[in-house]
Structure 1
Amino acid sequence: MNEQGAAPRVPTNLQCLVMVARHHGVDLSAERLMHEHAVDDRPVPTALLHTMARNAGLKSRCTFISPRQLLRLGGALPVLAELDNGNWIVVVRVDPGAERGAGPETVHVLDPLASAPVPLALPIDTFSSRWRGKVLLVKRSYALSDENQPFGLRWFLPEILRQRRLFRDVALAAVVLYALGLVTPIFFQLVIDKVLVHHSYATLGVLAVGITVALVFDAIFTFLRRYLLLYATNRIDIRIATRTFRHLLDLPIALFEHVPAGVLVKHMQQTGRIREFLTGRLFLTLLDSLSLLVFLPVLLLYSVKLTLVVVGFTAFVGLTVIALIGPFRRRLRELYEAESARQGLLVETVHGMRTVKSLALEPRQRKAWDGQSALSISTRFRVEQISTTAQSLTGLFEKLMTVAIVSLGALEVFSGAMTVGALIAFNMLAGRVSGPLVQIVTMVHEYQEVALSVRMLGEVMNQAAEQRGRSRGLQPRIEGGIEFENVSFRYAEGGPPALDDVSFGISPGTVFGIVGKSGSGKTTITRLVQGLYGVQQGIVRIDGFDSREIDLVHLRRSIGVVLQDNFLFRGTVRENIAATKPDAALEEIAEAARLAGADEFIQRLPRGLETMLEENGANLSGGQKQRLAIARALLADPRLLILDEATSALDPDSEAIVRQNLRRISQGRTVVIVSHRLSTLADADAILVVEDGRVGDLGRHDQLLSRCATYRQLWGQQMRHVA
């Protein structure tokens, strides 16, 4: 960390605020802030930093913390930290390794005075010796209605508030139920103290009619409360399900390629649990807590001493549950990790069942499943142990409370301070008071499960959508011109480059081939054209427009893509071909099938175009699936068609049909063909040779044969196989 040198033109704390703001998606200009607030090169006062942050839609708080507390900040990072020389830095990450027995405790910082904007790792002791303990916490400020806010319990509030009228009606029904809840205890008290003692038949009849009417109203309002709550939660469910699935579809393809499908499914299933907690357990517990305003004063009117007994036993229950929260949270996290791994294995096995059967891998998968199941079940047993312990102790305390109430109440009856009927009524009302109090405490226990569910679902919902920031991108007419200018790309940070300084151009309306050895970067080029991955370095232009400025949906609807392994959905052949153009006429579908060479086998299917396909076309051969995928791409009449090993699964006759139709297919559009079969590219207008992520050569077939050794080698290998 820099100590000396010329004072920076921009104060270090302002530079740090700009860095942290950009982390939260707020683009600030240090120079503009200095101009607007008349700031010179001296450190910006903390109060002014708060003002700048607030004006930018950020929340900030200045505080002093210890090194131990710094290591536990977690999700609050990055934060601004002041050094002993008055300069500020950004703490971007902490590694509390020693606390977990996993190495030294390390702090990763960004110093605005450093020559390169690269995080510097420092041991916590070294950092602490230079740090004053002062930090500025900054986070994004969101309105309740902002759909871009980070996922958490707050994320559900707008949907709940949409149904506030229904929840208001539920609350009103609950208030009526609380009032009716007093009727039964008072009925028993009057019968015991008045009717039985005086043998008053008339009073008994009146009380019986009254309690019957009250119970009927109680049943009606109980039904209304449950019905309204069910109706409201169902409306919330559909909106939340729609929002979460929409966000899932908006996520970049890289997430689905790196996160197992089973883990994603497990995370997405947490929506129901969270909603159920908020609108069910939490809402009803809060409503029942309001009943304390009705029942607690009534209990105090009966007996202050017995009321203190009720509150005391409830406190014991609370202390018991709170003591078990720590172990419960740790084991619950282990359980969810084990369940996610097991579900991931299940989805992977089902998806790869053909390979499992072909290679006789059943014993291997069975062993893996048994191991995961044993781990999951043993972890669940440890979680249930804690839950059972809490429930047993809670039940014991509630029974002891009843014993204490009856015993002490009997003494009150003996002394004449309370009647027998009053004691019975008090005991009945005590359950109405202790119940909500116990629910409040045990809800803390349940909250631990929900908090973990929020964290799991947040791992998906807090991922940035690929369309974010470009939802109103350009929508030019796509003609098919493509230009790569000094493009470099890596699939993983620090990994080998998939593309390295690649530059070439494709003219509109031409047939362009891409060849190279496996892993050379051919498919990566086509993925960048489709916008499946963001350009990391350089520029990809589509018809002269930077691809990052073009609306993704518009771009992809203008591109037809056929891959080596295409997915077909469950449905009819016609529905699969018309997936990109549902309103297509039957003649258009038939023409697309003919161009793809699929009409011949479709006619032999039991019901032709109306034949039902299994998931991923399991009842078709690989070549038939490939031809349907080609027909699906052609039906939308894309201006740019990408065939990525599209004929690899075709038999020679089918491939010959596609090649014969290629001239018609390419009319009026740009066709990019990625293929190992160089004979397919012999008539291409230009062929790009890719070698280890770089451009090896570019030219026509005859030109490459004469000057490109790699192309000549690939061609020679194929000719030997043909011979």
Structure 2
Amino acid sequence: MKNFPFYRQIDFKDCGPTCLKMIAEFYGRKISIEHLRGLSETSRGGTNLKKLSFAAKNVGFDVIGARLSLENLDKAPLPCILFWDNNHYVVLYQRVNETYHIADPAVGLIKYKKGAFVKHWASSVNNSDNPSEGIALLLEKTEYFDSVKSEPPKKKSGYKHLLPYILKYKSLFLQLCVGLLAGSLLQLVFPFLTQSIVDVGIKNESVQLIYLLLLAQLFIFLGKIALELIKGWALLHLSTRINILLVSDFFKKLMSLPISFFDTKITGDILQRIDDHSRIEKLITTSSLNILFSIFSILIFASVIAYYDFYVFLLFAVGSVVYVVWILFFLKRRELIDHEKFRLMSQEQSLVVELLNGMQTIKMNNVEKEQRWAWENKRVELYNVLIKGTRLEQTQDAGAALINELKNILITFYSALLVIEGNMTIGAMLAISYIIGSLNAPLHDFVGFVKESQDAKLSLQRLSEIQNKPSETDNGETKQLPKSSHDIEIKNLNFRYPGSDVLVLKNINLLIPQLKTTAIVGASGSGKTTLLKMLLRFYRPDEGTVFVGDQNLSSIDLKAWRDHCGVVLQEDFIFNDTILKNVVISNIEPDKERFLNAIKMANIEDFIMKLPQTWDTVLGNEGMGLSTGQKQRILLARAIYKNPKFLILDEATSALDADNEKIIVDNLERFFEERTVLVVAHRLSTVKNADQIIVLENGAIEEIGSHVELVQKTGKYYNLIKNQLELGD
């Protein structure tokens, strides 16, 4: 079999589409991972065999998903996709005798003996009568596959992406380059001074000349130290600014992405990408400047060696080439280890975040040990990869040091022979020894730069995946909210979440009249919150349209639309900041009168005023220290302070006692009159006064009407109210 094309998964859950990408390229067609990820609907939980089969059929494969015995798998056409370790996908691309060749997108190209192979593959089948049975996705290309051309290669966000950051500080870069050049020239003087001391000063017994040469060396050395200090401060200034710019631009892009992007990423993947910026910043500043210095030093000093003796130069050149080739020999293996390290660090970070966020639940269920073990097991995996990397680096460094030392010994030996034969002075020999010693650092820096540029390339690859994502405002909307009618009309809307087969909203047709209150009720999971998120444009409908007045909601400027919406969602966030900042949630100077009115209407004024620092009290992360009811009232005050045209409340008072809820409902009654209100609630007291009540069941509208009309129907709404009253009794 020809060399199998290997690609590594970018994210933790990208194994399925990455396997399909490898097989497609094996058959001669290049398909982007983004396209395959979309077809297979890969989400934060990955993808399943059904969706992976759909993606494979879509790109031109005949697909059979089957549970096979090992005997039948050995007869199956290769390559094929295997379900691996019960949570992963790999490609089986070749079998030789009892050795199975696997392309694992998380690890690399690996060979397994029969026993080890079965252990990984058969673990994907539970309660099988046959212990050597597993799940496979068999693929054969069709005529359609050959008829479609490969996708044109996407413009990569490579090192050109970094050019604007360098140009922004080009004057500082230029100053640093001049400083490094001056340092190199000062360094160049030392071997000639050393030769002069020996060949002129000592030979002619001129103590005065020796003093003069040594004094010159001292001043040059002090000049070098001064240049190094200046370079250090300039680099610190430059690297700090570039790092801030890089991470700031990353956050700018990250915050422009739709909510659906965050639904498909685990937290660790995003945190690791933030860490990737430190590699890039180091490459742009320290490494790139050092390599310029190193290349200049190597060229100048190599020329000086050639001036002294061509054969010494030849020994140096051959030794240096062998040294560099030895280092480059390990780059591919370092790349594999780096990818594995990224994957495990991402998983470990996600576990830590999960552990900290779920501490209350962990303690409630006495599972501290189990959760700690889960983290420890992941840490052990990471430790083993780090050990593997350390061993590789030690082998690389030991071999490089040996090659370098052998080169130095051979040059010293040959130079000594030339001195004995009278073809070289002792001073020239010492000068060459000094130059060889000085060249060790630039050569090491050159190799270090190769390593760091490889690391930065991998980091850029991961970051470019985010930079190439379309922003949620990339659909060209420019229109403002219509000035006349603000009725919201939903027509034939269908929606399902990415990675799900189930329609969450089905054929929704609905008119939400302006300046009226519309309530949405229904059982948990009926699609109430999803409908609100569709109106906020967190997601785009699979089918159907939403209008505001006579304008399509998708054509209205997104920021302008959200500026007009005051929202309280169930998963809304309270920041680690003051109560005032959490309500105002803007850098604009707070309007104290509006703020006081908002906290009064949300019935949290008394609580805030009793605090020692009143509204300047800093709240803990996610509102730590507040009750759920207090959090809800602060979130409600936030929505009221915004003074929106549209008020959207999702279970905004669900955690409040009856007295608090009654006060807030009474306070909001006049506030509701001046705006369009959409309320999701379970409690009768919250919805009964609504102008219109929508009953949702399994994502579809079952009933529409007022409280009185729906009770008279004795349908779904009536049963919901009846059950609630019975529970109350």
What TM-score do you get using the length of structure 1 for normalisation?
Answer: 0.81
- Does the CA-based 8 Å contact 1:413-1:420 persist in structure 2? yes
DSSP 3-state at the match of 2:234: helix
Q: In structure 2, what is the equivalent of residue 619 of structure 1?
A: 625
User: Cα distance, 1:379 vs. partner?
Assistant: 0.8
Structure 2 CA distance for partners of 1:429 and 1:135, relative to 1, 3 Å: farther
- State the distance in 2 between where 1:268 and 1:429 align: 41
- State the distance in 2 between where 1:374 and 1:507 align: 59
- Does the CA-based 8 Å contact 1:511-1:673 persist in structure 2? yes
Structure 2 CA distance for partners of 1:401 and 1:531, relative to 1, 3 Å: same
- Does the CA-based 8 Å contact 2:31-2:151 persist in structure 1? no
Q: How does 1:217-296 map to 2 (within 5 A)?
A: 217-296=223-302
Q: How does 1:94-243 map to 2 (within 5 A)?
A: 97-98=79-80, 102-103=91-92, 138-139=152-153, 151-243=157-249
User: Cα distance, 1:216 vs. partner?
Assistant: 2.5
CA-based RMSD: 2.9
Q: In structure 2, what is the equivalent of residue 686 of structure 1?
A: 692
- State the distance in 2 between where 1:569 and 1:188 align: 65
User: Cα distance, 1:168 vs. partner?
Assistant: 1.6
Q: In structure 1, what is the equivalent of residue 517 of structure 2?
A: 511
DSSP 3-state at the match of 1:314: helix
DSSP 3-state at the match of 2:28: helix
DSSP 3-state at the match of 1:560: strand
User: Cα distance, 1:367 vs. partner?
Assistant: 0.9
Q: In structure 1, what is the equivalent of residue 87 of structure 2?
A: none
Q: In structure 1, what is the equivalent of residue 335 of structure 2?
A: 329
Q: In structure 2, what is the equivalent of residue 451 of structure 1?
A: 457
- State the distance in 1 between where 2:81 and 2:701 align: 50
- State the distance in 2 between where 1:613 and 1:230 align: 35
- Does the CA-based 8 Å contact 1:474-1:550 persist in structure 2? yes
| Residue type of the alignment partner of 2:386 | R
DSSP 3-state at the match of 2:260: helix
CA distances 1:622-642 after superposition (whole Å, capped 9, x unpaired): 111111111111011111111
Q: In structure 1, what is the equivalent of residue 394 of structure 2?
A: 388
Partner residue of 1:70 out of 28, 36, 42: 28
* Number of positions where the alignment pairs a residue of Structure 1 with one of Structure 2: 622
User: Cα distance, 1:580 vs. partner?
Assistant: 4.7
- State the distance in 2 between where 1:479 and 1:73 align: 46
- State the distance in 1 between where 2:500 and 2:251 align: 32
DSSP 3-state at the match of 1:381: helix
- State the distance in 2 between where 1:310 and 1:418 align: 17
Q: In structure 2, what is the equivalent of residue 362 of structure 1?
A: 368
| Residue type of the alignment partner of 1:627 | R
Q: How does 1:380-459 map to 2 (within 5 A)?
A: 380-459=386-465
Structure 2 CA distance for partners of 1:126 and 1:603, relative to 1, 3 Å: closer
- State the distance in 2 between where 1:290 and 1:177 align: 11
Structure 2 CA distance for partners of 1:695 and 1:282, relative to 1, 3 Å: same
Structure 2 CA distance for partners of 1:129 and 1:480, relative to 1, 3 Å: closer
- Does the CA-based 8 Å contact 1:486-1:538 persist in structure 2? yes
Q: In structure 2, what is the equivalent of residue 543 of structure 1?
A: 549
CA distances 1:142-165 after superposition (whole Å, capped 9, x unpaired): xxxxxxxx5433211111122222
- State the distance in 2 between where 1:718 and 1:478 align: 40
Q: How does 1:691-710 map to 2 (within 5 A)?
A: 691-707=697-713, 709-710=715-716
CA distances 1:640-693 after superposition (whole Å, capped 9, x unpaired): 111101111111111111121231220210111101113311111000111111
User: Cα distance, 1:562 vs. partner?
Assistant: 1.1
User: Cα distance, 1:373 vs. partner?
Assistant: 0.7
Partner residue of 1:372 out of 369, 378, 381: 378
What TM-score do you get using the length of structure 2 for normalisation?
Answer: 0.80
DSSP 3-state at the match of 1:564: coil
- Does the CA-based 8 Å contact 2:290-2:445 persist in structure 1? no
| Residue type of the alignment partner of 1:260 | I
| Residue type of the alignment partner of 2:670 | R
Structure 2 CA distance for partners of 1:319 and 1:572, relative to 1, 3 Å: same
DSSP 3-state at the match of 1:198: coil
- Does the CA-based 8 Å contact 1:479-1:669 persist in structure 2? no
User: Cα distance, 1:263 vs. partner?
Assistant: 2.4
* Unmatched segments (≥5 aa) in structure 1: 1-65, 79-89, 106-120, 142-149
Structure 2 CA distance for partners of 1:328 and 1:695, relative to 1, 3 Å: same
Q: In structure 2, what is the equivalent of residue 605 of structure 1?
A: 611
CA distances 1:383-415 after superposition (whole Å, capped 9, x unpaired): 111111111111122222221111111111111
Q: How does 1:572-651 map to 2 (within 5 A)?
A: 572-580=578-586, 582-651=588-657
- State the distance in 1 between where 2:81 and 2:507 align: 44
User: Cα distance, 1:220 vs. partner?
Assistant: 2.6
- Does the CA-based 8 Å contact 1:356-1:362 persist in structure 2? yes
- State the distance in 2 between where 1:91 and 1:709 align: 44
- Does the CA-based 8 Å contact 1:481-1:508 persist in structure 2? yes
- State the distance in 2 between where 1:387 and 1:478 align: 69
- State the distance in 2 between where 1:244 and 1:260 align: 17
Greater Cα shift, 576-585 or 480-489 = 576-585
Percent identical pairs in the alignment equals 28
- Does the CA-based 8 Å contact 2:703-2:716 persist in structure 1? no
CA distances 1:496-543 after superposition (whole Å, capped 9, x unpaired): 111111010011100100011111111111101111112321111123
| Residue type of the alignment partner of 1:102 | V
Q: Does 2:726 match 1:720?
A: yes
DSSP 3-state at the match of 2:525: coil
User: Cα distance, 1:129 vs. partner?
Assistant: 11
Partner residue of 2:566 out of 554, 560, 574: 560
- Does the CA-based 8 Å contact 2:60-2:142 persist in structure 1? no
Q: In structure 2, what is the equivalent of residue 297 of structure 1?
A: 303
Structure 2 CA distance for partners of 1:204 and 1:263, relative to 1, 3 Å: same
- State the distance in 1 between where 2:428 and 2:30 align: 54
Structure 2 CA distance for partners of 1:565 and 1:178, relative to 1, 3 Å: closer
Q: In structure 2, what is the equivalent of residue 59 of structure 1?
A: none
